[in-house]
Amino acid sequence: MINSAHDRSGFRVPRRWGDIDESRRGIVLAWVAFTITFGGARLVTWLIQIDPKNVGNVSAGGTHLHHYLWGILLLAGVAIFGMVDRSPRARTWMGLALGIALGLIVDEAALLITLKDVYWQTAGWPSIAIALTLIGLVGSGIALTHRGSATTHDHSESDTADSRS
């Protein structure tokens, strides 16, 4: 009989956070944080755009501060912290911060490529294309690769016992 958490190849599908191997939690959390941050940034920016009072824009000295700036600062913080602490627990939290930072940066990739504020124009589509590609590739990579304490169940013994009864 096959355990519902295993398929025939022995791949264990994690059902809870504790089921994810500690060494992979950072990358899983980075992927989730990237996906949510990218979508959230798009939503917040759209809400700011449709608000006639321009509430929500952040500026300093009359200069608009794009959210990629916060992503770059957060990314620098992750890099510095990564040089200090490399424990599995720290890597998990660094994964969260990394995903948020990259989501903020990639959301404005078209601006960084063209050096023009093209967020809502056709020239802004590369940001969305890059983000969706990353979400798909990294998500697929996480799903298709596994590592850790998942044990394979030897079906030959149980299959033989089942065929005798």
Per-residue pLDDT reduced to its tens digit, 52-100? 776 778 889 988 899 999 999 999 999 999 999 989 889 999 999 999 9
pLDDT in the model for residue 11 = 60
pLDDT, position 10? 60
The candidate with the shortest Cα–Cα distance to 89, out of 17, 35, 142, is 17
- Helix (H/G/I), strand (E/B), else coil: 71: helix
Instruction: Name the stretches of the chain with pLDDT < 50.
Output: 1-4, 149-165
Element counts in the chain: helices (H) and strands (E): 6, 2
* pLDDT score for 64: 86
* Structure confidence at residue 75 (pLDDT): 97
* Tokens describing residue 132: 């969706």
